[in-house]
Amino acid sequence: MSDPIKTDVVIVGAGPVGLFAVFELGLLDIKAHLVDILDKAGGQCAELYPEKPIYDIPAIPKISAQGLVDALMEQIKPFGPAFHLSEMVEKIERIGDPAFRVTTDTGKVFECKVVVIAAGGGSFQPKRPPIPGIEAYEEKSVHYAVRKMDAFKGKRLLIVGGGDSALDWTLNLAPIASRLTLLHRRADFRAAPDSVNKMMALVEEKKIDFVLGQVTGLEGADGVLRAATVKRNDNTVAPIECDAMLPFFGLTMKLGPVANWGIKLDGELIPVDTSTFETSEPGIFAIGDINTYPGKLKLILSGFHEVALMSQKAHRYVHPEKKLTFQYTTSSTSLQKKLGVA
């Protein structure tokens, strides 16, 4: 066991909500370390859809997922957070009141007064479609995420799925692909109606193809895709030529070690008190997609709200001797000094 790293708060998860927690905690003189199983900050935004546009961040009409992460990283610079990436928190032990010992899978140990779980849906991985031999093509010509749109420029693309991700990437990649086919097993979609309407308009304009059916096999060699064998809904079987396939079958979310931390769970989610976003364990909070409460909306902006209230209660644990006076960044000289703008 390594010597423990002492800090005020350990944040489990470095997605947008975890990053914003650094900011709100920092305003209250609370230092934080972040641990994330991914090799970079940003969570699902950075890992699964960095170039996907986001439209519902207040006052920002449109921003890419990676752009949002970059802006949050810039915003928290004044507070000097420490990141521990490619690590997974395995154990949380109570060693005081309040005090916790947090241990990662690499043997790194933290001692802190507060733990904030901002782990999204827990550890996640894309659902692999049941296509024989698909493993040989993964990361070469079968991709479960779009990390760089230019990688698909001028290619024949086959997008499989009927949810928001499939429709969003159909609309975003259609202008740069040499040809794009959307394949779904039925004519009903789980995506936003506006996206479906825009996709159907592209089909009518013959800018993309839409096929009803399922992929039953892949053709190619050495991981290089040449075509996908498709069984259509009329029972005909024919290949669709493609250079790359993007299957969007959703994500498999697993709580992983979170289930062993002694916290009350509701299925795969963590119930919280909505006045503080504290879990059943005093001093352990859950924010973002991993928590649940009546009326919960899985939106980034909802997570930001949860962060603000969580930070108020966290201050009581970290600085019990200090009275917390609510201040606005627009008018507080002390807060502006912390941000380096005074």
CA distance 223 to 209: 24
CA distance 189 to 197: 11
Tell the CATH superfamily of the 5-124+252-339 domain: FAD/NAD(P)-binding domain (3.50.50.60)
Q: What is the pLDDT of residue 254?
A: 64
| Confidence (pTM) | 0.71
Quick check: helix, strand or coil at residue 264?
coil
Q: Residue 53 pairs with which residues in a beta bridge?
A: 64
| Count of CA atoms in the C-beta half-sphere (13 A) of 67 | 11
Closest CA relative to residue 143, chosen from 238, 57, 248, 66: 248
Closest CA relative to residue 89, chosen from 125, 46, 37: 37
Q: What is the pLDDT of residue 283?
A: 97
- What are the structural domain ranges in the chain? 5-124+252-339, 128-249
Q: What is the pLDDT of residue 67?
A: 95
Q: Does domain 128-249 have CATH number 3.50.50.60?
A: yes
CA distance 22 to 14: 10
Q: Residue 156 pairs with which residues in a beta bridge?
A: 179
- To the nearest 10°, the Cα dihedral for 290, 293, 9, 41? 30
Structure tokens given for 248: 């969007």
Structure tokens given for 322: 């200090």
Q: Which residues contact 53 (CB under 8 A, 6 or more apart)?
A: 62, 63, 64, 65, 172
Backbone angles phi, psi at 332, to 5 degrees: -90, 115
Task: Please check whether residue 167 is in contact with residue 52, taking contact to mean a CB–CB distance below 8 angstroms.
Answer: no
CA distance 47 to 38: 8
Q: What is the pLDDT of residue 4?
A: 94
Structure tokens given for 162: 């009927």
Please report, for residues 35, 70, 122, 340, the alpha-carbon distance to residue 143 in angstroms, rounded to integers and kept in the order given: 26, 24, 21, 42
**What Rg, from alpha-carbon coordinates, does the chain have?**
23
Q: What is the pLDDT of residue 122?
A: 61
Structure tokens given for 285: 């909070």
Task: Please check whether residue 141 is in contact with residue 225, taking contact to mean a CB–CB distance below 8 angstroms.
Answer: yes
CA distance 44 to 28: 27
Task: Please check whether residue 35 is in contact with residue 84, taking contact to mean a CB–CB distance below 8 angstroms.
Answer: yes
DSSP 126-149: EPPP--TTGGGGBTTTB-SS-S-G
Q: What is the pLDDT of residue 50?
A: 84
Residue 21, phi-psi category: left (phi > 0), alpha (psi -120 to 50), beta (remainder):
alpha
pLDDT along the chain (342 residues), means of 10: 89 96 98 90 84 92 95 97 91 92 94 94 74 95 88 97 92 97 95 93 98 97 97 96 94 72 91 98 96 96 97 97 92 94 85
Closest CA relative to residue 54, chosen from 304, 238, 319, 320: 304
Q: What is the pLDDT of residue 255?
A: 67
